[in-house]
């Protein structure tokens, strides 16, 4: 949405400039349109690059064994929710370190825009594919691949993805710190 608003702003600003410079509204129309299209393309490319970085973050390594990391990731998925919707673990394989989970929810915030969405509700689905691979020693590398199915706007889905990525990182980092500090028995 932002690239379109930016392109419209550039179009009207350049049209105003050409109107002031030439006193002819039509003389700057092709150039204003070209400027607007250029800004739209640049904005859309930047937006798709941001979504790509969000949907496929860099793999992270943790000094936690794969079975512990697998358990931590499953626990985070089981206790996390969005409103009344909960994450559903569709597939898990402890031997390969794969977990596939999905979150389905209905966005009711479109009630006031029935001209755009007649029902006033949008179905949204976020799928997460996690691959936990063992590294050297007791380390585990976690790769997350997010897939979003969302008509019109995915802003709320992006927020959920950021939150879940943070929760995975925080839980695994906490487990890593707990493993690095051995417990002392009182005695």
User: Please, what are the averages of pLDDT over each run of 10 residues along the chain (187 residues)?
Assistant: 74 80 76 77 67 77 92 93 90 94 79 56 87 90 90 81 93 85 59
Supply the pLDDT for residue 129.
Answer: 95
Model pLDDT, residue 171: 94
Is 3.30.499.10 the CATH classification of the domain at 60-180?
no
What's the pLDDT score for residue 47? 62
124 with 149: CB under 8 angstroms? Answer: yes
Structure tokens at 49: 């690059």
Q: Quote the pLDDT of residue 96.
A: 93
Identify whether the C-beta of residue 146 lies closer than 8 Å to the C-beta of residue 128: yes
Contact status, residue 93 vs residue 130, Cβ threshold 8 Å: no
Q: CA–CA separation, 161 vs 128, rounded Å? A: 9
Compute the Cα dihedral for 4, 8, 14, 17 and give only its sign.
Answer: negative
Q: How far apart are CA 74 and CA 90, in angstroms?
A: 11
Q: What pLDDT sits at residue 82?
A: 85
């Amino acid at each position: 949405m932002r690239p379109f608003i930016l392109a419209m702003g550039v179009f009207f600003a350049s049209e105003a400039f050409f109107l002031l410079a030439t006193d002819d509204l039509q003389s700057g129309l092709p150039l204003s349109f070209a400027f607007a299209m250029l800004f739209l393309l640049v904005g859309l490319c930047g937006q798709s690059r941001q979504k790509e970085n969000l949907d496929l973050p860099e793999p992270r390594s943790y000094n936690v064994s794969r079975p512990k990391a697998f358990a931590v990731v499953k626990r985070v998925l089981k206790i996390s929710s969005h409103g009344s919707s909960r994450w559903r673990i569709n597939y898990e394989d402890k031997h390969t370190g794969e977990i596939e989970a999905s979150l389905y929810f209905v966005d009711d915030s479109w009630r006031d825009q029935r001209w755009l969405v007649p029902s006033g509700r949008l179905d949204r689905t976020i799928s997460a594919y996690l691959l936990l691979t063992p590294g050297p020693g007791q380390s585990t590398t976690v790769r997350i691949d997010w897939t979003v199915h969302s008509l019109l706007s995915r802003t709320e889905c992006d927020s959920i993805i950021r939150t879940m990525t943070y929760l995975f990182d925080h839980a695994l980092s906490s487990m890593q710190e707990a493993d690095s500090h051995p417990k002392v028995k009182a005695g």
